[in-house]
Amino acid sequence: MRPLPPRAVVRDVTDRLTVVATVAAGVAVAAVPDLRRPVLTAGGAAVALAIAAAVTRLRALGTLAVALTTSSVLLAAALDASDLRPVQVVAAGVLLLATLSALERTETPLGRRPGAATPLVVLRGPAASRLGVAAAAVGASALVAATAAQRVVPSVGLVLGGLVAAVAALVVTTRAHRDETANDGPDVHESLSGRVPGDRPR
């Protein structure tokens, strides 16, 4: 395995620490101010999994850590909704996003050899479009949280309508990412001397 240059080592350690820190912060946001045993248990497990994911770089552990962090927030809300203020939910959402980004930086992308040199970035898209979508997501979250915090007399219809809208949003979003055959182009293996059928033995 090729040794990493010092700057890359610092970046790698920072990314790993960020994974643990964001998961811990997400759990803390969900757990305070009323520390309950189930929330603490789920949160503790999430932090432990985050540490394991940061150390081993295993994708499955990272996904489990994210799932457990989400579960901690859900548990905190389920046990006592009055404990979880809208701002906490939004903060938890932002921290989850940060966790996802940190996990991606820590994990080795599929197909890349562990310990291989840092790949060269040939093209980078505009930062405004990436950050814009993230800001819109946080804004939408804040809007939903603010709406949910309104003191209105709850009715069955209102609650059901909201939940149906959420499920519909989930279904629509899932459909938007259904695999389409339009993107199944031909084999992408190309050569300077023309197309080649497959991987050439080295």
Shortest spacing between CB 48 and another protein, in angstroms: 18
Shortest spacing between CB 37 and another protein, in angstroms: 18
Closer residue to another protein (CB): 55 or 117: 117
Shortest spacing between CB 183 and another protein, in angstroms: 6
Closer residue to another protein (CB): 37 or 156: 156
What's the rounded Cα separation, in Å, for the pair 118 and 84? Answer: 42
Crossing angle of helices 59-79 and 6-31, rounded to 10°: 20
Closer residue to another protein (CB): 51 or 79: 79
Closest listed residue to residue 138, CA positions, set 91, 86, 174, 104: 91
Closer residue to another protein (CB): 35 or 169: 169
The type of residue at 81 is A
Closer residue to another protein (CB): 24 or 71: 71
Full DSSP string of 61-102: HHHHHHHHHHHHHHHHHHH-GGGS-HHHHHHHHHHHHHHHHH
Shortest spacing between CB 129 and another protein, in angstroms: 5
Closer residue to another protein (CB): 114 or 126: 126
Shortest spacing between CB 156 and another protein, in angstroms: 10
What's the rounded Cα separation, in Å, for the pair 4 and 134? Answer: 31
Residue 102 · residue 17 · CB < 8 Å: no
What's the rounded Cα separation, in Å, for the pair 10 and 90? Answer: 30
Backbone φ and ψ for 173, nearest 5 degrees, come out as -65, -40
First to last CA, the chain: 20
Shortest spacing between CB 17 and another protein, in angstroms: 20
